[in-house]
């Protein structure tokens, strides 16, 4: 006997759990809050997420990262000026009133909070950041080939710089809430894309 079939949409349930993790954090999100948001019972939860809360969290980060990467990649691909689009993505981080989906800060915050707590999460974090970095490098390489930017710096090095900026802004936002200051920091760092 295979057991009862799933009667819930797993991706939507993970998306709902992500909202709880975003607002409460991993450590303070309770099982009851997660189950309530996901609208599933304990049996369905543990049947689907055998690793419990940690597996749900890892899958939440992965799903969020994949959606964020896809959205960013599509935005770059559909833009007439991919470097300007990329700059705007970074600059929009300064104006966000709080952590929202558009700016990917759930992922950034999750990586800062948990990547050192667990080796599996650390490996996943490294892989997700590498995907983002590869997208940056590809965009820069194409812009250089099309003579849309002047810099002759290695696209891989610039991509590392942008990954560092992306991570750093998520940390800095916790201490500095002034959009003007954040924008100034980001603009200074983005000069490498001129």
pLDDT of residue 135: 96
Quote the pLDDT of residue 176: 80
| CB-CB neighbours of 145 under 10 Å | 9
Compute CA distances 73 → 8, 63, 175, whole Å: 29, 15, 29
Q: Which two tokens stand for residue 91?
A: 């600059």
Q: What is the pLDDT of residue 8?
A: 82
Strand intervals (E) in 19-145: none
pLDDT at position 68, please? Answer: 86
Instruction: Give the C-alpha separation, 82 to 140, whole Å.
Output: 9
CA dist., res. 54 & res. 59, Å (int): 9
pLDDT at residue 101, as a whole number: 45
What pLDDT was estimated at residue 112? 64
Q: Where are the domains of the chain?
A: 57-193
Residue 75 to residue 102: CA distance in whole angstroms:
11
Mean pLDDT, contiguous 10-residue spans, the chain (194 residues): 65 94 87 95 92 91 88 95 95 74 60 69 81 95 95 96 89 82 96 94
∠ Cα 166 68 76 (to 5°): 80
pLDDT for res 102 = 45
Its CATH architecture, for the domain 57-193, is Orthogonal Bundle (1.10)
């Amino acid at each position: 006997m295979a057991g009862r079939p799933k009667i819930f949409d797993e991706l939507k349930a993970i998306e709902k759990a992500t909202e709880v993790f975003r607002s409460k954090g991993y450590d303070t999100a309770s099982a009851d809050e997660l189950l309530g948001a996901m609208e599933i019972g304990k049996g369905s939860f543990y049947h689907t997420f055998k690793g419990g809360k940690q597996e749900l969290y890892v899958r939440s980060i992965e799903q969020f990262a994949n959606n964020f990467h896809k959205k960013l990649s599509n935005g770059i691909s559909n833009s007439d000026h991919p470097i300007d689009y990329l700059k705007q993505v970074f600059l929009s981080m300064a104006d966000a009133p709080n952590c929202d989906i558009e700016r990917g800060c759930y992922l950034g915050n999750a990586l800062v909070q948990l990547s050192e707590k667990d080796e599996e999460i650390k490996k996943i974090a490294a892989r997700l950041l590498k995907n983002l970095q590869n997208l940056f490098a590809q965009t820069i390489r194409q812009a250089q080939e099309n003579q849309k930017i002047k810099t002759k710096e290695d696209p891989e090095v610039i991509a590392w710089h942008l990954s560092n900026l992306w991570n750093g802004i998520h940390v800095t936002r916790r201490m500095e809430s002034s959009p003007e200051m954040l924008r100034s920091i980001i603009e200074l760092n983005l000069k490498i894309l001129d």
